[in-house]
Copies of this chain bind each other. A is one copy, B any other.
């Protein structure tokens, strides 16, 4: 199976490498061409533009960092739109908003191409290990055709229906995750302030019905006040906001998510937005008031 791959950042490179390793023929493109070198060593071909990739390959995957980059490879000079045509498939794995997905979907479809949005759950390590979870939505026939690729990229892929549903599913998951991080932070601080050892709380939690990888991974560093950014707090707060906004459209009252969102905003106001989202823990701790209060 021959596929194109656009975008060789941390995630994109890991995914493309996995495809190569499993026998796919891969033609890559990246804005900074030198990033293609390592993949070429492992057997990839290089094309000089997104348009050239699409011209050559029936299926093109993209993994870019943000909506503007995702739009640029489609609508920009030598972009996808120039060569997408009947029967070709375009699969965008970037995490973008519903509006961006819709715009891309519309133009691809109008030109006779097929479109899938396919954001993933999981970060660098699962990408390297082919253990991502893929949340695909859009053209179902295309989904069936590229399933062999998804099976290599991830441990599981889902087909979720119409374009936009992939992004929504990711928001719902991240909203639950954000509230859980707050619950966890409150528990850790309460334990410490009540004379219990927070690291023993971690052990107790890990043996019970709510044990989960996130508590296990982040608990020990949180206690030390270390929040090296894996998923920046400002992005987590943005996802909480978007999920609450989705709840506003659909009239779902979510008081716990709303309280969690305000805690993340408090963290931002304290200048912690660039740290890991576990830094919301710092908002629960006792804080010094500004000195001029009387």
Contacts and interface: CB of A to CB of B under 8 A. Distances in A.
Interface in A192-237: 193-197, 200-201, 203-205, 207-214, 217, 225-228
Given A169-B196, A225-B293, A279-B293, A179 B179 contact: yes
A262 interface: yes
A23 interface: no
Interface of A: 121-122, 133, 135, 155-156, 158, 160-162, 165, 168-169, 172-173, 175-177, 179-180, 182-184, 186-187, 189-191, 193-197, 200-201, 203-205, 207-214, 217, 225-228, 241, 243, 246-248, 250-263, 265-266, 268-272, 275, 279, 282, 284-290, 292-294
Contacts of A207: 121, 133, 155-156
What are the 5 tightest A-B residue pairs by CB atom distance, in nearest-first order? Answer: A179-B183, A253-B266, A212-B212, A251-B269, A259-B259
A261 B258 contact: yes
Contacts of A266: 253, 287
Given A168-B194, A212-B210, A256 B201 contact: no
A190 B161 CA distance: 16
Oligomer: number of copies: 4
B176 A252 contact: no
Contacts of A247: 186, 190, 193, 265
Contact of A187 (B172, B186, B212, B253): B172
Given A177-B210, A288-B287, A201 B250 contact: no
Given A158-B203, A287-B269, A289-B271, A255 B251 contact: no
A167 B175 CA distance: 30
A210 B174 CA distance: 10
A228 B183 contact: no
A294 B210 contact: no
A18 to B, nearest CB: 17
B212 A160 contact: no
Nearest to A218: B209
Interface centre among A169, A179, A225, A227 (most CB of B within 10 A): A179
Contacts of A214: 209-210
B168 A196 contact: yes
A196 B160 contact: yes
Given A203-B158, A251-B265, A271-B289, A182 B179 contact: yes
B193 A252 contact: yes
A196 B228 CA distance: 33
A184 B194 contact: no
B286 A282 contact: no
Contacts of A253: 262-263, 265-266, 269, 284
A50 to B, nearest CB: 30
